[in-house]
Each structure stands twice: as structure tokens, then as C-alpha cells.
Structure 1
Amino acid sequence: MTTRREAWPPGTPAWADITVPDLAVARAFYGPLLGWEFEVGGPEVGYYTQAYVGDRRVVGLGEPMSDDPAPPPAWCVYLATDDLAATVAAVAEAGGTEVVPAMPIMDFGSMAIVTDPAGAVFGVWESASHTGWDVVDEPGSMVWCEAMVHDQPTAVAFYRQVFGYGVEDLSAPGFTYASLSLDGHPAAGVGGYGAQAGSDAPAAWTIYFAVTDADASAARVAELGGTVVSPPTDSAFGRMTIVSGPFGEVFALIAPSGGS
């Protein structure tokens, strides 16, 4: 089953959102690309938009809520917790940094934004009425999340310490990668940048959205005002492409193996 209405287990990617300068532009890009429909909240939530596949929410989008300069738009992946305060304390103990202090979000739940010791930013979400995304592994929804960093061993040790993941090393010559699992089920990945990435490649979490046809979706990205960063290529997990949206935000699209 790919539909879930309950809280996600601690350590599982449970939500993602992005702050953009223009929600109308974002909806015009992501709606046609991923088949999303949007439910727009009122001023009490800063006109935060939730995207849906059918009646199941998949991500959130919002605009800056103050006049302060906003950081460059980037998708933020939230890992689930059932004790936000304890997780934030564990992040600090493991060498991470709290960027946005823990805070309640109305009756939806509580969140914090942190960084791992390798510099990748992510969120932590303790759910209340909002349990995160309702669907995964279907077209238009999240299928995988991973952190890419320059110091992969340090990042892996951090996530293992904070969330208790099992770690499977999937590295090969010229390729450094580990799968993080919970109760034997893959939850996320941590990879190391190769020399070709350059020292200025930012440590970051990347979200993969499922599509039915990677090549057609990559072409659609360009038509809608985005950019294809890495053309579609085959992998052991499907045909994938790295792209960026209208504000430069990077994400990935992946189609099942055997598809286009």
C-alpha cells in the first residue's frame, strides 16, 4: 500500500516543503509536471499551499512570511520523530546544528530545522493532526530521499546516532553511498560527492518524485520553465533525471525500471 494516514515511524522521511517567492509560478510549474492539485490556506498559515495527488497530500509550498531576505528556494525534507525535543538534543549531541528552533505549528504538529555535521539542511517533524504526506511511491509523490555530502562517513555516523538507522554500504569504485534502514526497510540514503562535483557543490538533501516517463517529464520541465541539470539515465532503481524548478530548486524525477 502506498497510502498512509497515520504518523510515519521515527526516522522516516515524512514531509517536504519549499518556500518560494511566487506561489502562482510554482503552482503553474509543479501542477502540470507532477499532476498536483492545490489547496491554499488562508493568512493564518501564511497562505501555505498543500499539493495533492487525488485526495492525498504530498508536499507543501509557501511564500516568505516576513520582509527579511529569504534564502534561495530549496526543498526541505522532514524526518519524522515522536519526540521533537529529544531529537533536537540528539542532533546537537551528534554534532549537528539547530537552524530554526523547535516550534509548534498550530494544531498540525511541531517542527525544527537542523543541519548535519556535513552541512546538509533537513527538518524534523513531530506530527499531531498533520501526519505528513499521505502517499508515496506513486506518480507525483515521493519515492526516495537522500543526502549528498562531501564528508559521507561523518554524515552516516550522525544519522545512525540520531535516528538509530541500520546502514548498508552500497559503495562501488568511484561511488560512495549508504542506504539507511529502519526495521530492515530502506528509509533514505547518504552519498558522497565524487571529485567531478567540485568542492563548491552544496551538501543537501534531494527528494525524488515518481513519474511514469522520465524522458517525457524532463522535456516537460524545460517547457514549463525549469532546467534539466542531468539528463535521464538508467540506474538499478529506474530511469532518473536531476532537474531544477523555476526558482533554481533542485529535485529528481524517477520512472520505474523498464519504463522510459
Structure 2
Amino acid sequence: MTEARGSAGSSGEAEARHAPGTPCWVSLMVHGLDATQEFYGELFGWEFQPGPQQLGPYVRALLDGKEVAGIGQLPPDRHLPIAWTPYFASDDVHGTTETVRLCGGTVGVGPLDAAEAGRLAICSDPSGAVFGIWQAAAHLGIALTGVPGTPAWNELITFESASVVKFYETVFGFEQEAVASADFDYVTLHIAGRTVAAVLGMGQALPRDRGPHWMTFFEVADTDEATARVYELGGHVLRQPHDSALGRMSTVTDPEGARFSLLQSKA
């Protein structure tokens, strides 16, 4: 998993600028901003400071004084799925969104300026999975990786990998590598030889109540303890802690229903 968390140096600080195509930020839009800050603050030790307000009230989560994620508040009349959204770096968000459209995806928001921080767009791939695009200016994205409480991995959960991987290859320049298995549809995505994300095809086993979606994994020191803590804080456990190729992991939701995974990476 050292490659997957790849931009971290020995100190855990991320590179100054994320290469185009790499996951560079994660953001969550909720109805109860204060309660959500309390949940993640207790779970991950995050502190918060105000961020750009173009889409409404928004805060950035800090760990050791470094930005690791964003949380915004939905308007009361917007009943959108509550979900963590990964953002992929781009040097030209306008050009990237045009490619999204040409490849059968949808641009739901933007491109628009987020004050002096940069430019963003929120899109969905042809299967409906939502993702963001970030063109950095003052805000470069995730500034700390590889330590508990930071985003560790992003995985697209979808029906089948083949067609949707072609979309992401064209939009972001990914190279793919399939995991050889007769009964396991799993493809890793690479930028300049570095593993940055993956696509898991679940076929008819994909949860119907959720549909195709990106799953964000957060690093924890102890998956079993962190999973129990989620439950204590009012969240739900969708899949109990178990061992995987990435490390010991579980799948949970926060009190508003946003799904995410907890990962205790292999050393």
C-alpha cells in the first residue's frame, strides 16, 4: 500500500503539487455540519477551519495542522446522497470536463472558482459514480498522508470494470493493470508507474440502494478499535473488520449515512 498512498514522504507530508490524474482531495456534503465535524473529530482527531464558501458553508479538516479533507453543508432543500467524493488533480479543469462529456460522463457542478484556492468541477462517470476534479491554485489538496486519520486509498465500486476503466483512462490518463482471477473483477489504476486507485466490479452483488460509487479509505492505527468507535459515535458498521490484500479493513457509515472504509495498512 505504500504505492497507493504514494505521495507521502518519510514525514507523511504530501508532495507540493499532485500530478494530474492522482487523487488529491476528498470532500463530503452533509445536512448537519456541526454534528458531522464532531463525529469525525472524535473518530480521526481532526480539527477544522473555514474553507471557500462558493457552494455554501464549508470547512477543511486538519490533522497536525495540515489539510486532509473537506466537509460542506447541503442546502436544506437538496436531498442528494450523502457520500465522500474523491477529487482528481487536473492542470485544466475546463478541458478535463469537456473530455468527461465526450466520453459519456456528466458534469453536475462547474467548472467554477473556489475563491483563491483553485477551480473545481463535480462529475459522474457513465455508470453514475460521482467524482470531483480539482485544478489547484492556493490550495494544493491533501497535505498529509500515510498516518492515521488521513485518506489512504480510493476504489470505484461498480458493476463491471472493463467499460468504465476506459472512461477513466481517457479522462485522466490512467494506465490499468487487471488482477488475474477468474472470479474477481479488479483493476488497479496507475499514473507514471505509481498505483493511485482501483476499480472493483461486483456485478449483481453491487448494493442496489447505492449503485456505482467511489469508496474512500481512511488510515487508522487499529481497524477493530476504530470500527467500534464508529458505532459508539452513532455510525453504523456495514462490514465487520476483516483481513484483505490492502490490510485489515472494515466498511462503515457516519450518522448521516456516508459510507467509507477504515484501513490498517500492511507494514
Which TM-score band (shorter chain)? over 0.9
Aligned residues: 257
Counterpart of 2:79, as a letter, is A
Q: Does residue 179 in structure 1 map to residue 179 in structure 2?
A: no
In structure 1, list runs of 5 or more residues that go unmatched: none
1:196-211 alignment, distance < 5 Å: 196-211=205-220
Does the Cα contact within 8 Å between 1:119 and 1:149 map onto a contact in 2? Answer: no
Task: Report deviation, 1:97.
Answer: 1.1
What is aligned with 2:66? Answer: 56
What is aligned with 1:213? Answer: 222
Q: Does residue 26 in structure 1 map to residue 36 in structure 2?
A: yes
Task: Report deviation, 1:130.
Answer: 0.6
Does the Cα contact within 8 Å between 1:105 and 1:111 map onto a contact in 2? Answer: yes
- CA distance, structure 2, for counterparts of residue 254 and residue 159 of structure 1: 24
- CA distance, structure 2, for counterparts of residue 227 and residue 143 of structure 1: 21
Per the alignment, do residues 95 and 43 of structure 1 end up closer, same or farther by CA in structure 2, a change over 3 Å counting?
Answer: closer
Per the alignment, do residues 86 and 41 of structure 1 end up closer, same or farther by CA in structure 2, a change over 3 Å counting?
Answer: closer
What is aligned with 2:49? Answer: 39
- CA distance, structure 1, for counterparts of residue 96 and residue 54 of structure 2: 28
Counterpart of 1:246, as a letter, is P
Q: Among 157, 179, 189, which residue is 1:148 paired with?
A: 157
Task: Report deviation, 1:191.
Answer: 1.1
Does the Cα contact within 8 Å between 2:54 and 2:115 map onto a contact in 1? Answer: no
- CA distance, structure 2, for counterparts of residue 38 and residue 114 of structure 1: 26
- CA distance, structure 1, for counterparts of residue 203 and residue 250 of structure 2: 18
Task: Report deviation, 1:25.
Answer: 0.8
Task: Report deviation, 1:43.
Answer: 6.5
Q: Does residue 115 in structure 1 map to residue 129 in structure 2?
A: no
Percentage of matched positions with identical amino acids: 37
Q: Among 150, 172, 178, which residue is 1:169 paired with?
A: 178
Q: Which moved more, 1:69-78 or 1:202-211?
A: 69-78
- CA distance, structure 2, for counterparts of residue 256 and residue 85 of structure 1: 35
Task: Report deviation, 1:111.
Answer: 0.6
Q: Does residue 8 in structure 1 map to residue 18 in structure 2?
A: yes
- CA distance, structure 1, for counterparts of residue 73 and residue 172 of structure 2: 30
- CA distance, structure 1, for counterparts of residue 259 and residue 209 of structure 2: 15
What is aligned with 2:102? Answer: 93
- CA distance, structure 2, for counterparts of residue 132 and residue 171 of structure 1: 33
Does the Cα contact within 8 Å between 2:157 and 2:201 map onto a contact in 1? Answer: yes
Tell me the SS of whatever aligns to 1:159.
helix
Q: Does residue 228 in structure 1 map to residue 223 in structure 2?
A: no
Tell me the SS of whatever aligns to 1:4.
coil
Q: Does residue 105 in structure 1 map to residue 99 in structure 2?
A: no
With structure 1 as the length reference, what TM-score do the two structures score? 0.93
Counterpart of 1:52, as a letter, is L
1:82-121: CA deviations, max 9, x gaps?
A: 0111111111111111111211111110011111112111
Does the Cα contact within 8 Å between 2:158 and 2:203 map onto a contact in 1? Answer: no
Does the Cα contact within 8 Å between 1:145 and 1:208 map onto a contact in 2? Answer: yes
Task: Report deviation, 1:42.
Answer: 8.4
With structure 2 as the length reference, what TM-score do the two structures score? 0.91
Does the Cα contact within 8 Å between 1:171 and 1:178 map onto a contact in 2? Answer: no
Tell me the SS of whatever aligns to 1:129.
coil
What is aligned with 2:3? Answer: none
